[in-house]
Structure 1
Amino acid sequence: MIQRIQTVFMFLVAVAMVLVLIFPIWHQVNPSQTQMATLTAWALTTIDVESGEVVASSSMIAIAILAFISIGLALFSLFQYKNRTRQMFLNMMNSLAMVINVGLIIWFSHNANETINPEVNGAFVIGFWAIFAGMIMNLLANRFIRKDEMLVRSVDRIR
């Protein structure tokens, strides 16, 4: 049923992935304060701090595509409450998409860090941590779906 607790968790997965699309994911300022790099789901942008103009920008659309896939899987899984095994499978695929997204983010930020200033590490910000919040919510949703499935099987066994 749609009013179950796992529905709330799956909706929160979608909200967390929307946060990934909206907020920056990684940020670095080099020690001499001349350039600043910001990774979002859409692009990696390097800005000259003094003039405020964009020095370099490269598209990171793969992060946004995976975030949209995660949003779609979470919302589609939300309405698959009549088939709990399909719902668990969709959540498992969503977890895989989020893990791949984290891997891409780490890879892109590592490459950007080497380009700008390898001595100083950048900082992961709210967009990055929102993916982990989504993963935890997805895990909790699967746990409650599995609990419902075990309850239904136990009731069928009693009859």
Structure 2
Amino acid sequence: MIQRIQTIFLFLVAVAMILVVSFPIWQQVNPGQTQMLTLSAWNLVILDIQTQEVLSSSSKFYIGILAIIAAGLALFSLSQYKNRTKQMFLNMINSLVMVVTLGLIVYTTYQANAEFNPNANGAFVLGFWAIFGGMILNLLANRFIRKDEMLVRSVDRIR
């Protein structure tokens, strides 16, 4: 049913993945110079802090596309409340998409850190932590969907 707790969890998964698209994921400031490296879901930008001029930019659109796919899967799974087995399968696929997104982000930040300033570490910001929130919410939604399925099966057994 649409009024169950897993509906809220799945909606919050979609919100978390939209946060990934909307906010920066990783930042690093080069202490010796006045440059800042920022990874968002769409690009990797080297910015001059003093003049606010973009020195370099490279496209990382695949992170944004995967985040949008994860948000779409969560919303589609939300609408499949009548078929709990399909809903659990969609959530499993969504977890896989989020893990791939997370892996690509870690790989991209590792490569960018090695090129920009290997002596300093960058900081993961809101966009990165939103993925973890989405993954936890997705697991909670799956748990409650499974609980509902077990309840329905136990009631059918009693009849």
Q: Could you tell me the TM-score, scaled by structure 1's length?
A: 0.99
Superposed displacement of residue 73, structure 1: 0.3
Q: Which runs of 4+ in 1 moved over 3 A?
A: none
1:104 CA displacement:
0.3
Aligned to 1:59: 59
Pairing 1:1-159 to 2, within 5 Å after superposition? 1-159=1-159
Unaligned runs of 5+ in 2: none
Deviations 1:107-156, CA, capped at 9 Å, x for gaps = 11111101110010100000000000000000000000000000000000
Q: For 1:120, what is the secondary structure of its paired residue?
A: coil
The answer to whether the Cα contact below 8 Å between 1:33 and 1:49 also exists between their aligned partners in 2 is: no
Q: Is 1:20–1:67's contact at 8 Å kept on the other side of the alignment?
A: yes
Worse-matched range after superposition: 139-148 or 52-61: 52-61
Q: Which amino acid in structure 1 is aligned with residue 98 of structure 2?
A: M
Kindly tell me the number of residue pairs found equivalent between the two proteins.
159
What percent identity do the matched residue pairs reach? 70
Letter in 1 for 2:21: L
Q: CA deviation at 1:51?
A: 2.2
Residue type at the aligned position of 2:157: R
